[in-house]
């Protein structure tokens, strides 16, 4: 069984300040972990993925995440927020490969103010 907990339903930052979106997971298997972003009325776009290679994963648009097995965390960060980063972010876990389905967190809405 696997589950994901996104610790904040909303995060508000000012443009140019760092972003931290927190995610904890549990999985019976060696997990694959993902962050997806959903802009208003849009589909889901993959930001980055961890699939048992390097623990620090770099994604698109300056985002990165670090897999910490001891803390069962996969927090998403960005050094400097941009207005266009305002969106819903989903942390996702899957058992490694196979037909396993994705288990989504409940999402964190990132609000960016000028």
Note the residues at the interface with another protein (CB under 8 A): 32, 34, 36, 38, 41-46, 49, 51, 88, 90, 92, 94, 96-99, 101-102, 104, 106-107
Distance of closest approach, residue 16 Cβ to another protein, in angstroms: 27
Question: How many angstroms separate the most distant Cα atoms in the chain?
Answer: 44
Based on CB atoms, which residue is closest to another protein, 36 or 63? 36
Distance of closest approach, residue 41 Cβ to another protein, in angstroms: 8
CB 110 within 8 A of CB 87: yes
Based on CB atoms, which residue is closest to another protein, 28 or 41? 41
Radius of gyration of the chain (CA): 13
**Could you give the CA distance from residue 19 to residue 17 in angstroms, rounded to a whole number?**
7
In 3D, which of 80, 52, 76 has the Cα closest to residue 64?
A: 76
Distance of closest approach, residue 104 Cβ to another protein, in angstroms: 4
């Amino acid at each position: 069984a696997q589950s994901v907990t996104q610790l904040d339903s909303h995060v508000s930052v000012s443009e140019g300040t760092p972003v931290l979106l927190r995610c904890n997971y549990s999985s019976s298997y060696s997990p694959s972990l993902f962050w997806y972003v959903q802009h208003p009325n849009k589909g889901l776009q993959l930001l980055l993925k961890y699939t048992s290679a390097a623990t620090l994963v770099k994604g698109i648009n300056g985002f990165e995440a670090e897999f910490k097995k001891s803390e069962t965390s996969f927090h998403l960060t960005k050094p400097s927020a941009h207005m266009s980063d305002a969106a819903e972010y989903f942390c996702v876990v899957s058992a490694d490969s196979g037909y396993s389905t994705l288990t989504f967190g409940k999402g964190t809405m990132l609000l960016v103010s000028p």
